[in-house]
Structure 1
Amino acid sequence: MVISQEAFSALQEQVQTLQAVFQKQQEQIHQQGEKIIDLEKRVQEVEAENVELKQHSETHILEDKEENQELKRQSKFRKTSLQKRASGNGAAIHNIGFTASLSTVTALGDGQIIVFDTIISNDGNGYDSRHGHFTAPITGLYAFSVTVMCYGNESELHVNILKDGQNIGVAFANGNHYDNGSKLVVVQLQAGQMVWVQHAIDPSGYKIHVSGNGAGFHNIGFTASLSTVTALGNGQIIVFDTIISNDGNGYDSRYGHFTAPITGLYAFSVTVMCYGSESELHVNILKDGQNIGVAFANGNHYDNGSKFVVVQLQAGQVVWVEHANEPSGYKIHGQGYSSFSGFLIQSY
């Protein structure tokens, strides 16, 4: 069969056309392959994003669950605090606190630790009635109070409140017909630090009736004592110059003033001791010049007196202790026997 030149040329054109179509199809297939690869990568990225979103969502759900639990815990704590305040004690106390008393008359040796063997309350289990020690369960600001009573007219008593062996407060009872003395101190404790009450280095055999207690409070509070015997003028402000604790820096030992850092309900305690039998003491606790409490010591052989008050303060209001309007020259004992303390019970 003989193909003409014209037919051969036409066949060549058809072949070239088919080759061009095939080449174009190959290019399209290649492009589709690249798109498929891109789509597969995108699918993998989307799947990874979905996994990450799922993990993120689960984390948020867990965080929200933990946050809700914390909010419930805080709500329960506030409810408990309100219930405690409503019960009449006036204090929103974290669940750490104790009161213990001495069950029998006890003859004390030199430097003997006084073991309050009868537990009345012990929230947080910080107090150990076997050894007479309170061990701080958590770090915070704590208040401690001790009251001592002589047994009859046999003896006078000096007792110290100690923090890990450091003296932070002294209480005294002069032995005059079941005389008693009290001391309240506010002190910062680290978790694990210990506080106890110890008979001072006096002749052995002095006998005592005692009770003691302590509690944990918010971090605004102070205790300051008078370092030396001081002759007081008429209406003189008593400057307790030795700072034992001053969380929140509310107390100014230059002037004897406590200035409330924030608005809230505060508690204040003052203990004063006469110097010898020379004079009796009337001292006032004042809030911005208004008398809110009076402590009295009758001048009978180092007698002492205490006063505890609870008062609402606005931020910036000032509280101090002042000698009442009496003849000048009456003397107040130093060496830690006279002290001034205060702490925030509840902020508003």
Structure 2
Amino acid sequence: MFGYSSLSVVVFVTVLCHTKAIENEPIYSKFEYDKRMLETIVRMEAKMDQWDKERITFEENVLAVLEHRREEMQKKFLNQNKIQNELNDLREKVYNRTLGLNHVPGRNPAVAFSAYTNVSSSYSDGQIVIFPNVLLNEGHGYNKTTGYFTAPVTGVYQFTAHTCNYFNKAIIVEIVHNGKVIAVTTNWDNYRHTCSSVSALAMVAAGDSVSIICAHGDSHMVANHHRWPSFNGVLLNRRMACYYSLEAIIVFLTVLCYSTASEPDIETQCSKFKYDKQMLETMVRMEAKMNQWDKEKENFEENMLSVMEHRKVEMKREFAKQNAQIGQMFDDYEKIREKLNDKTAQLEKLADNFTKTPRVAFNAYTRSSRNYDNGQTFVFPDVLLNEGGGYDKITGMFTAPVAGLYYFSVHICHEKAKYVVAAIVHGDTTIAVTSEYENTGYSCSSVMAPVKISVGERVYLKCTHNTALVGDSNNRWPSFTGFLFTI
């Protein structure tokens, strides 16, 4: 705070009795001396009164400006704090809605793919096995050119590789996630072409890749009308997280002013002439000092006004920046509110669908052997599970009670020295094929495939070559299973 301390001028007139006359004192009019000293004191008093008024006015103006700036800053901070609190509340609501979406039973993003090849090939060690024929690619994660599946979202996935070998040749493949092997299978038969499958569960992050890689040099894989080597995968459970943050803005304004003053020393005891002379000289010095202070005050006021003007420009720039940030905060506020409304609508839709949609899954098998002709439908009369009532044990047909993404699996066993060949068929479209043969004994094979089905469409297991299907109570249970994993 700027200020000048009031200077009190006290004139002591001391008459020393019995003062001796001093020789060689200059002749000086007593009236003239007193007149000059009085005029000087009057001017000093007037100047000091003027300074006191100016000081009070200046202090009031500075205080008013600072108070106005303080009120403006306080309003800005209050608005920012209010918006910040609302944004934090919205973020928490969006996060809770997101958690709710993640934990709705049976709800997952539609991520599933199924691809196969109908061309026989030989593979070298480390070579990627490419399946160029795509039957399903929900989520667009599978690349039929490179053979890689790239996860669009983070979650638990199931992957299945189905391979068939040349007779007297082996095929050895691995399911590889980001360079790490998560499953390996080998298939070999000395006399005929046979098929086998391997599956693996893995936690896959968004952007991770999964592929089928040949694990042994000179591997041979056969593909034809009766055998479809395939690669498929489905998202079983998704993982998510949300995160949001904003910076707080703090503006400091400090104006400090200091002033100092000094007072001259005055001798208290001297001769009358010297006393008056020193008094006059002191007054003259004080007047000169006051004039100097007057100039310094003017310079200070000019500098202060310059500083205040510069600060005013800075404050305008700072306010413009804060207004832009507040505008951005309002934009974020609206976006988050829209996102919250969207998540709420999704939750309401999912809750409505979930309460109306039955769970769909079936598991059927047979314990008896039977011969099938080309084109016949395999029938599995023993039903362990039939949620939703979609499977018919008389016809062997599954009819979808609701639309969605389904996952089907078939396990078949053959009689020695006889082929068993089967295809999973959706409507009139084949979605997976496998075969099995063993010259001297009995063996089994499996194949799986995801598929998108509308209400009322059928899926069944079709014989594509005259086949002897073997089943018994103890060692072999040929089976047909399927389930709805997302709508």
TM-score in terms of structure 1 length = 0.43
Query: Whose helix fraction is larger, Structure 1's or Structure 2's?
Result: 2
